[in-house]
Amino acid sequence: MPDTQTILFFVILFVSLIAFIREWFPIEVTSLLVLAALLLSGLIDKDEAITGFSNKAVITIGAMFVLSHAFTKTGFIRVFTVWLENNGRGRNWAVTTLFLLAVSIFSAFINNTATVAILIPVASELSNRLKISASKIMMPLSFAAIVGGTCTVIGTSTNLIVNDIATEAGFNIGVFELSKLGLILVAATLGYILFAQRWLLPSRLPVSGLTQKYHMGTYLTEVKLTEESPLSGRKFLELNLGATYELTVLEIIRAGKHITTNLRNIILKPDDIMLVQCSVDKLQQFRAEQKVLLLTDVKMDDNELANNENILVEAMVSPNSRLAGASLMEIDFRKRYGLFVLAVRHYREIVKKKIGHIKLKQFDTLLIFGSRTRMAALNTDPNFIMLDELDTTLHKIKYWWLAVSIIPIVVGLAALNIMSIMEASLLGAIVVMATGIVPAQEAYKAINWSVIFLIAALIPLGAAMQTIGLADRIGGLITAASGNFGDTGLIAILFFITMLMTSFLSHTATAIIMTPLAIESAGILGLEPMPFIMTIMFAASLSFMTPNGYQTNTMVFTPGGYRYMDFMKAGIPLHIILGIIGVVLIPVIWPL
């Protein structure tokens, strides 16, 4: 008969799993609520509740965010990747493979979310150059980044968490220890992608422009003021067109000059042409009441919108955007950036009406119109990832050579056991901040605080599991199962259970839950814990079959034009292939 504490633990765990999957709250808020519930229920004490915030892995992950930002500021990733593509000698399969190989290499050393964010525009340009659908390259981009992260201990936050738990249990894992299997998984993944691109990945019809992609044809048009129009001679601010007609004026064209700034104080004149965003029904009302002429018959496209001054681009709300949860009206987007948002694409829907009131979410994509100068400034804003405007030049920032070399130096110090990973990464972060490569305020913005709070808040779960003796109980069940399936069968069970959990739950949370259980199981069976630790480390990082199972999958969902089942169709076979390879080779590389 389970005691009260055990029942409380499983209630908290069950509710938290539902909250994570259903996304009732932001992921870091859910994890903090779990922490509060564990503390209030007495499953952990106040000292255990704060252990996560001083955890070595959390400090290392924060430092690596700063180092990754310093590295990516130089533009080296894009330059090197494009150079590698150009050496593909025109063969699609060779160019694609070299591109994905570069993705895997970079993901082994810097945050894979940052790698994908930087390379989405490169992938888009590559699909155009190779004349293939973006859906053939975006999902492989995510998959290559995920599997590349399994090659080193610093490749993912999951690896660092598992490594920290293993270190506390007395087992040390070298920086490149994972490469023994990780490189094999990378090769298998790249080979699988060549097959999947032809047979499994969809080929969505390429959309010729962003106006078509966002179905904006009936929302953008040009109107011309006549002499009889009651708008003529009046200041734009006085007209209140937005409230009356749900109409947004993007620019005014007067004598060939495009006016996009300070529209509020413009006095309208006859023959002025206004580029407006408006639904068809309201547009007809506007035309009749204000006596304006329709010039484009509601058929604006990208080419008509673009000119020497203005441009139409697509941007994504970044994973660590501070604007997530706020509406465009609340952040005063138009005044803050001097740009117009024409439409917002949520996970599966496009919003074009009253977009100022909707709450932005991470990975939403925005269709933005405005001047090239303003758009260039938006490109440097960490709240957004620009999906267009490819820049393939090396940014020679202050001490750029140090920014490029700092991560190899950190890795070298840790690999040679001169310093621990935490010490090396923390000192590296201090160096890039002290030299001005990443100013202190910029460093703060570079850290994905959602990840930090998620991990720090969930680490005390391990202490709660010890309080109720959960590891011992489950370890006993696993021991019984090993009698039926054998030691290799036990590795297989742990591998596929972990892999399944990480497809629907946070991979970090999965690692925190499963690693102590794996170590305990090995101890009960009298086996070496290392193969069990490696099983969790690899399985918790491999998430391919759902778009929300891993951040990089979510990031490529919209740019690739995917549907949910596309990930199931292409991801499940890869799960099975890599699972079989892992189960077979882990006991060979790290003997039981």
DSSP string, 2-52: --HHHHHHHHHHHHHHHHHHHTSS-HHHHHHHHHHHHHHTTSS-HHHHTGG
Task: Note whether 451 and 157 are within 8 A (CB).
Answer: yes
**pLDDT grade for 570, boundaries at 50, 70 and 90:** very high
Task: Note whether 323 and 559 are within 8 A (CB).
Answer: no
Report the first-to-last Cα separation within the chain, whole angstroms: 34
Q: What's the mean pLDDT in 502-528?
A: 82
Torsion sign over Cα 281, 286, 289, 293: negative
Residue 76 has pLDDT above 80, yes or no: no
**pLDDT grade for 298, boundaries at 50, 70 and 90:** very low
Q: What's the mean pLDDT in 294-323?
A: 66
User: What are residue 252's DSSP bridge partners?
Assistant: 259, 274
- State which amino acid sits at residue 267: I
Between 394 and 91, residue with greater pLDDT: 91
Cβ within 8 Å of residue 325, ≥6 positions away: 26, 359, 360, 361
421-461 pLDDT, tens digit each = 889 999 999 999 999 888 888 888 888 888 888 888 888 88
109-146 pLDDT, tens digit each = 988 888 888 888 888 878 877 778 888 999 999 999 99
Identify the H or E element spanning 372: helix 372-379
- In the chain, the percentage of residues whose pLDDT exceeds 70 is 86
* Residues 520, 174: Cα–Cα separation, whole Å: 22
Q: What's the mean pLDDT in 406-417?
A: 88
Between 178 and 296, residue with greater pLDDT: 178
The structural domains of the chain, ordered by start, are 57-206+400-448 (no CATH), 218-300 (3.30.70.1450), 310-386 (3.30.70.1450)
In this predicted structure, what is the pLDDT of residue 111? 80
Minimum mean pLDDT range among 35-44, 176-185, 197-206, 519-528: 197-206
